[in-house]
């Protein structure tokens, strides 16, 4: 049984400490300690984490590190990397880290090494991507492939979509990537209007080949293709990331072009696997391995660095401090890089599906809050949308600012303006602007003294709002891999501290079950049970049936 988090000695010490630290002003912490940045920042894997703009000090960190040790972070980390079945509700190992390890890695599950099968798939992916990129894989009319359409949902969409966009600068010049996930046909329809059957390659990404949204989109894409191509031509235009050989063959896909992954790879951790096939096609096998290498470099750091100098651990502990002791309910992600525009959505799934839990590993109700709401958008767009709330809203919302020091373009003036905004926003959130400062500023502007009092409150910024800044040397396959792995391990550490299973997602299931029943009713099948639904749902179904002509 996992001990109650809130009764541990480390937790109680942090609770006492927070009563004092809650009154601290960050601007005072900086003025008292000129070396604050040096002490509260850390570099590894071509990433820099600056966590100095948080309401904490060295004592806070020592208490947080004591909590991490008391909750068994080191032991649980070792269990995950060894292949132990730490996903206890599904009795599965959690070995996405093995996907980016070298060939000689010794990781095993139930005594069976996993590296050989991983690298066999990677080799097959490399051969396939080379043929497509070199125009040796041709469509049914003899033309090379120009468009890659990945059809998946959840981790089979968010990971590769995020990574493909992030690494846009490394794309093959002939290829375009498209991603379809939503069962809403507006998603698929928009993509099909941009591509031609003769030059399009579809990747159907579904481990079981039964995922409702994915297979509905896949069969619609198949029907669209057969309006121009033949059944025999399907094998040249459809490949699968799956393990269901019979279903893949029945669909018309050559099993030689079926790329498997394993049940010890969770969907939201699967971009490192064959789910990353679209990414490998766009950037090439060599660059894809650089992406894996970046993740592996962060793995080595996570496993070997002392907790006090461990980037994922520190990022996680700062989040625990803000969430559980300073009572922040959400976390904003602000990448100041347009190519990282899908990164907030990727982290939404990674963190909220992993740690959005209300019970412990042994089924008891949590006594402390778990995962905050994760959301965000790119800078500088976010500044003109939601930053008003960050600066002057009622809630304190920590922000992770993410930026690259070197851009992938030659427009240096733009990049300087971008970085200036990124650094200024974190500074402004920390410093704020006092009523006295506003008053003096209005006086300098010549505002009449009688008008100043009514303006002061509107122009005052409370400040003292926390943020982290993560700087990449440049956005490359390797640094993206390290960044993704950083947040994966942060999520793991927080899950261990909260005592939840970060690797199941039962909350996704109930709505799916109910949707299956309602779908048959929307199609015209009457439900014999008049009390099958509440009055709201029943009337919504009735209106939808009427709109579709299913009722009089």
The DSSP bridge partners found for residue 404 are 472
Q: Map out the domains of the chain as residue ranges.
A: 5-85+300-431+473-500, 114-283, 432-464, 509-547
**3-state DSSP call for residue 300?**
helix
In this structure, the dihedral spanned by the alpha carbons of residues 302, 305, 311 and 312, taken in order and rounded to 10 degrees, is 30
The answer to whether residue 384 is catalytic is yes
What is the CATH number that goes with domain 5-85+300-431+473-500?
3.40.50.10490
Low pLDDT (below 50) residues in the chain: 552
pLDDT at 101: 97
pLDDT at 491: 98
**3-state DSSP call for residue 482?**
helix
The answer to whether residue 74 is catalytic is no
In this structure, the dihedral spanned by the alpha carbons of residues 40, 356, 426 and 384, taken in order and rounded to 10 degrees, is 170
pTM equals 0.96
Q: What six digits make up the tokens of 505?
A: 């997602």
Q: From 151, 483, 536, select the one nearest 298 (Cα to Cα).
A: 483
Q: Which of 198, 351, 353, 521 is catalytic?
A: 353
Q: Which residue has the tokens 């778990």?
A: 370
- Second CATH level (architecture) for the domain 114-283: 3-Layer(aba) Sandwich (3.40)
DSSP-H helix ranges across 71-208: 73-82, 115-133, 155-166, 185-192
The answer to whether residue 70 is catalytic is no
Q: Which of 384, 414, 427, 546 is catalytic?
A: 384
**3-state DSSP call for residue 470?**
strand
Q: Which of 219, 327, 414, 512 is catalytic?
A: 512
pLDDT at 552: 45
Whether the Cβ atoms of residue 231 and residue 252 lie closer than 8 Å to each other: yes
Identical fold, 5-85+300-431+473-500 and 114-283: yes
- Rounded to whole angstroms, the Cα distance separating 116 from 270 reads 18
Residues contacting residue 164 through CB under 8 Å, at least 6 positions apart: 171, 177, 179, 278, 279, 282, 283
Q: From 44, 4, 121, select the one nearest 297 (Cα to Cα).
A: 44
């Amino acid at each position: 049984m996992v001990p109650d988090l809130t009764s541990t000695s480390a937790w109680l010490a942090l609770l006492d400490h927070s009563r004092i630290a809650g009154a601290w002003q960050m601007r005072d912490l900086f003025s008292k300690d000129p070396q604050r940045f040096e002490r509260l920042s850390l570099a590894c894997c071509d990433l820099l984490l600056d966590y100095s703009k948080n309401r904490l000090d060295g004592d806070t960190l020592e208490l947080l590190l004591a909590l991490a040790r008391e909750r068994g972070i080191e032991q649980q980390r070792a269990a995950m990397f060894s292949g132990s079945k730490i996903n206890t509700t599904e009795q599965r190992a959690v070995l996405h880290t093995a996907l980016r390890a070298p060939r000689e890695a010794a990781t095993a599950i139930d005594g069976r090494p996993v590296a050989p099968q991983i690298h066999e798939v990677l080799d097959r992916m490399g051969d396939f991507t080379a043929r497509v990129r070199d125009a040796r894989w041709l469509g049914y009319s003899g033309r090379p492939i120009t468009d890659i359409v990945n059809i998946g949902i959840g981790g089979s969409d968010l990971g590769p979509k995020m990574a493909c966009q992030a690494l846009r600068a490394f794309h093959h010049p002939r290829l375009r990537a498209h991603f379809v996930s939503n069962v809403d046909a507006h998603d698929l329809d928009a993509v099909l209007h941009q591509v031609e059957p003769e030059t399009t390659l579809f990747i159907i990404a579904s481990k079981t080949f039964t995922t409702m949204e994915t297979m509905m989109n896949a069969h619609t894409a198949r029907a669209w293709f057969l309006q121009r191509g033949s059944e025999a031509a399907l094998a040249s235009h459809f490949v699968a990331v799956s393990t269901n050989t019979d279903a893949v063959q029945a669909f018309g896909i050559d099993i030689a072009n079926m790329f498997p992954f394993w049940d010890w790879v969770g969907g939201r951790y699967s971009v490192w696997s064959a789910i990353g096939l679209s990414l490998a096609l766009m950037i090439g096998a060599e660059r894809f391995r650089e992406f894996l290498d970046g993740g592996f470099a962060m793995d080595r750091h996570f496993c070997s660095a002392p907790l006090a100098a461990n980037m994922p651990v520190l990022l996680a502990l700062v989040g625990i401090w803000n969430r559980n002791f300073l009572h922040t309910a959400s976390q904003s992600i602000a990448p100041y890089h347009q190519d990282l525009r899908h990164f907030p959505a990727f982290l939404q799934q990674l963190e909220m599906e992993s740690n959005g839990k209300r019970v412990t590993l042994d089924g008891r109700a949590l006594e402390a809050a778990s995962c905050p709401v994760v959301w965000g958008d790119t800078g500088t767009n976010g500044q003109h949308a939601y930053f008003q709330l960050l600066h002057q809203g009622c809630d304190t919302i920590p922000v992770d600012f993410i930026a690259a020091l070197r851009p992938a373009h030659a427009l240096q003036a733009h990049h300087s303006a971008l970085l200036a905004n990124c650094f200024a926003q974190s500074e402004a959130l920390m410093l704020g602007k006092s009523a006295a400062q506003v008053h003096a500023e209005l006086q300098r502007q010549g505002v009449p003294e009688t008008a100043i009092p009514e303006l002061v409150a509107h122009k005052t910024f409370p400040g003292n709002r926390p943020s982290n800044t993560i700087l990449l040397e440049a956005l490359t396959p390797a640094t993206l891999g390290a960044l993704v792995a950083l947040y994966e391990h942060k999520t793991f550490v927080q899950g261990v501290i909260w005592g939840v299973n970060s690797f199941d997602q039962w909350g996704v299931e109930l709505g799916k079950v109910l949707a299956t029943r309602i779908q048959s009713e929307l199609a015209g099948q009457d439900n014999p049970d008049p009390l099958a639904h509440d009055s709201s749902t029943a009337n919504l179904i009735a209106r939808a049936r009427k709109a579709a002509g299913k009722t009089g």
